[in-house]
Amino acid sequence: MPLTIEAELPYLGPDRRETLDVYRPDGSDGNRRPAVVHIHGGGWTAGDKASGREKGIGHALAEAGFVVFSINYLLNEPLPGVKRGEGVRCFESFAWPQNLEDCKAAVRFVRQEAERFGVDPERIAVMGCSAGGHLAMMVGLTAEASEQVRAIVNFYGPYDLTQGYAFYFPEGVAGEASPRRYLRKEMPPLLVTHGTADDIVPVDQARELVREVRELGVECPYYEVGGGPHSYEIVSPHADLREEIVSFLRAAMP
């Protein structure tokens, strides 16, 4: 399906440099399309909406009929010369909670600009990879009315930050910033995919997340990728997840 791509669109106001890219199917049958806000990974410190993985997701979902908004957001500022994980203080400044607020602002932007992009404002999902998966879950679990989404897709993002990820966040907030705290019966359906060879976010985090969500009676399909590393794309040598992701999103946003 032919696509239109609009890059570097502002969505956070004139004082912010972070922008978003839009992937849209060409043509229209007269109906508004469902939208997906996609959040890149990178340990809350790096990454970009225009990386190969994010472009692959944008193309795959737009070709399936979704309008995809791939966003950049505020990142942690590392201390010069200090590697992540070395000591207690690795960052000059932390992005939390502004990074989450940026992601929620993207959902509001899509809803406010729905007519401009041919989007149905009542059919918006959120998706992310790694740190972006964590932020996607937090958007879906803590949204106010103008930020609500119909579905969440989590590619190998952690749901409990107290298990080795606290140093990415201001002291004392890892529990508060963890999706685990906000799981509830009224949450949107959640799709999870995770690789068994992930050495950054252990696959046990995904298994425990899925178990807890299903115990609440919430729809939670899970695709465990045998031999999959921490970072894999929607189409990779380990798995082709396009059909699973598209089917889930279509069912959640009919």
Say if CB 81 and CB 19 are below 8 A apart.
no
120-162 pLDDT, tens digit each: 999 999 999 999 999 999 999 999 999 999 999 999 999 999 9
Gyration radius (Cα) of the chain, Å: 17
pTM of the full structure: 0.96
E runs forming strands in 89-179: 91-93, 119-129, 151-155
Residue 87 has pLDDT above 60, yes or no: no
Residue 165 has pLDDT above 90, yes or no: yes
Say if CB 8 and CB 99 are below 8 A apart.
no
- Kindly tell me the sign of the dihedral angle through the C-alpha atoms of 85, 87, 92, 96: positive
Given this model, what pLDDT does residue 85 score? 62
Q: What is the C-alpha to C-alpha distance for residues 149 and 134, in angstroms, rounded to an integer?
A: 15
Residue 188, preceding bond cis, omega within 30 degrees? no
46-82 pLDDT, tens digit each: 999 999 999 999 999 999 999 999 999 999 999 887 7
Given this model, what pLDDT does residue 88 score? 59
Buried b (16+ CB within 10 A) or exposed e, 219-243: ebbbbebeebebbbbbebebbebbe
Taking alpha carbons only, the member of 192, 216, 199, 176 closest to residue 136 is 192
Given this model, what pLDDT does residue 89 score? 74
**Which DSSP state fits 222?**
E
115-130 pLDDT, tens digit each: 999 999 999 999 999 9
Structure tokens at 24: 């849209």
- Binned at pLDDT 50, 70 and 90, residue 26 comes out as confident
Given this model, what pLDDT does residue 116 score? 96
Across residues 33-47, what is the average pLDDT? 97
